[in-house]
Structure 1
Amino acid sequence: MLLMITTAMVTMIIPILLMTICAMISKKSIKDREKMSPFECGFDPMSSARTPFSIQFFLIAVLFLIFDVEIAILLPVIITMKWSMNTMWIMTISSFLLVLILGLLHEWKNGMLEWM
């Protein structure tokens, strides 16, 4: 019983002690305007960090990620070809590639891939 009380006291004292030390160490000195401003090579920022970006660039980046992930999905399928039936494997890969190609054609038809 004494061991449990001692353990409970130690497990309560150590975190409280650590939090107190951290609070004392992390006290900020004078909040200076220069210290609180974003650092950009020692100069004040010329413009806002919230500048707009191109939606077209965003769409192409998303397309790249989609095709990149799908290639990562296709690579292990080649290894599993040894253990699966060939007709089922061919049907699965063909349907997967068909969905990919139809999606790409749809995006091409809607003009999402044109950079203008």
Structure 2
Amino acid sequence: MQSNLYDFVPILMQVAFSVVFVFATIFISNYLGPKHRSSKKNQNFECGIESIGDARTPFAVKYFLVAILFVLFDIEIIFMYPWAINFKTIGISGLLKMGGFISLLLVGYLYIVKRKALEWEK
């Protein structure tokens, strides 16, 4: 079965429509929208609270470490969900492979606990 150029026409039409829609929306909103400029409007808005100090204060490395660890261990759900759905069809082989996967995650978690990466106070 060979595809020809006509098979891609609906996809190309959808892409063209999307691009035209985005640019038309931006142009029309810029053309028809109100243009009231004032110094009060151009100020930063932070929940009604006046800004104090520099906004570029550094965060603690612990914050980024916990965020990265959360993402790392949250990804495991992506791999566990299909396994749980197809548990009956993959049999004992799938159970052993998932057991290896979970044990690898457990080793990583124990390493993190041993290195005290999740403790906030020193």
TM-score range, shorter chain: 0.5 to 0.7
- Alignment size in residue pairs: 98
SS at match of 1:40: coil
Unaligned runs of 5+ in 1: 1-14
Unaligned stretches of 5+ residues in structure 2:
1-22
Q: State the alpha-carbon separation in 2 of the partners of residues 56 and 32 from structure 1.
A: 41
Distance 2:94 2:49 in 1: 60
Report 1:4-83 matches (<5 A).
19=27, 24-25=31-32, 28-29=35-36, 31-42=37-48, 44-83=50-89
**Alignment correspondent of 2:105:** 100
1:42 shift after superposition: 4.8
TM-score w.r.t. structure 1 length? 0.62
Q: State the Cα RMSD in Å.
A: 3.0
Instruction: Name the % identity.
Output: 33
Once the two structures are superposed, residues 9-68 of structure 1 have per-residue CA deviations (whole angstroms, 9 ceiling, x without a partner) of xxxxxx99x94x655545745x43322110235554123332322221221222223222
- Greater radius of gyration (CA): 1
Going from structure 1 to structure 2, the CA distance change for 1:75 and 1:110 (only over 3 Å counts) comes to same
Alpha-carbon offset, residue 70 of structure 1 = 1.0
Q: CA deviation at 1:105?
A: 1.8
Shift of the alpha carbon at 1:112?
1.3
